[in-house]
Amino acid sequence: MKSAKAQDRETVDKARKLGALPPLAAMLLVAVLIVAALSLAGPHVGAGLMALLALVGFGVLVTLILGWVGWRIVQIYMEIPKRKPVDISHLYTPPSPQVQPIVKALAELGFKRLGETRTQFSFGEPGITWILADPQATVVAQVVEGAPSAMLLFDTIYDDEAVVETAYPAGERIKTAAFVSQTVTTSVQDAYEYHLERVAEFCAEHGSSHHIEHMASFFRYSAVYRLRYGRRRLRRFLWEGIVHLAALGYSLVILLAFIALFLTRPSSEIVVQRYWSMIGQLTLATVISGFVFVAIQPLRGAGKGSKEAHEVPPNYSRQSRP
């Protein structure tokens, strides 16, 4: 019989392989098509134009890499409803060095540990979230590792399943009747105080907020959030992923079309004409995908958080179990 740890590792490895298979297949296909196009066009376009295709091939490589990014974005978006976190509170996982400064700041504001969860993605290692609640148990703080700094989300849920959310140091700016997500970049305390102001405003329209005092109530809230609002937070980045995948697909179609045309009508005049058309279209796909990637980067930006390693707050000692 395999141990639970071994079975868990097998599940992680299987998910990682399944997540990486489609982009790896696309990478192999692009490499084969580029080599095939070079081989077929060589006798008709000359060494100089062959070098141009090799340069454009580098651009196609960039498109392929961004297509991988797009695949991951779309994959995360599609997985959200079924990506359930697992309770690992019994392991008492201490905050990582990156997370410690935020957890320490939360402890100074009176937040108490509820526990930790682990979420498995279809790529990479499982992500751990450290979960705390404020003294009134109406604001849940979730802290995760990120780049370049750890990320913090304050959440409050109401009786009608409306949610107020505040992120630090980076996040979304969303305002709907039942879901508000805002971002504060200055400090954990500023984010918490701002969140409390929004909570008071929401109470006037949505009634009292839920008390989340233990992990069982957190998981009930988490299920509501994941199903109703999880995808809403990623909608803006979903379009980026779609553009990257579309650019990659377009590049594959152009390469296939060039090869198919050569095989059906292999005259030098037609090959040269289609060669220039292929060069222009591949370049266009790379430019569009690259432009979207650069344009979206300011939306990913995070304020610089402290990188100092702080001691683990007393809330995380085994003597202070909830």
CB 259 within 8 A of CB 40: yes
Mean pLDDT of 50-76: 78
pLDDT of residue 27 exceeding 70, the answer is no
Comparing CA positions, the residue from 88, 152, 162 lying closest to residue 126 is 88
Secondary structure element (H or E) that encloses residue 117, with its range: strand 112-119
Domain boundaries, the chain: 23-80+238-300, 85-230+305-320
The string of pLDDT tens digits covering residues 35-52 is: 676 666 666 655 666 666
Most confident range (mean pLDDT) of 6-20, 124-138, 270-284 is 124-138
Peptide bond preceding 148: is omega within 30 degrees of 0, i.e. cis? Answer: yes
Mean pLDDT of 168-197: 90
Least confident of 67-76, 128-137, 238-247, 271-280: 271-280
pLDDT of residue 216 exceeding 50, the answer is yes
pLDDT of residue 224 exceeding 80, the answer is yes
Mean pLDDT of the chain: 77
What's the pTM value of the predicted model, to 2 decimals?
A: 0.68
**In this predicted structure, what is the pLDDT of residue 304?**
32
Residue 200, Cβ neighbours under 10 Å: how many?
Answer: 10
CB 304 within 8 A of CB 148: yes
* Pair of tokens at residue 231: 């995808």
Q: Residue with structure tokens 């707050």?
A: 313
More confident residue, 197 or 254: 197
pLDDT of residue 272 exceeding 60, the answer is yes
Mean pLDDT of 189-215: 89
The string of pLDDT tens digits covering residues 93-152 is: 999 899 999 999 999 999 999 999 988 766 656 688 999 999 999 999 999 987 677 899
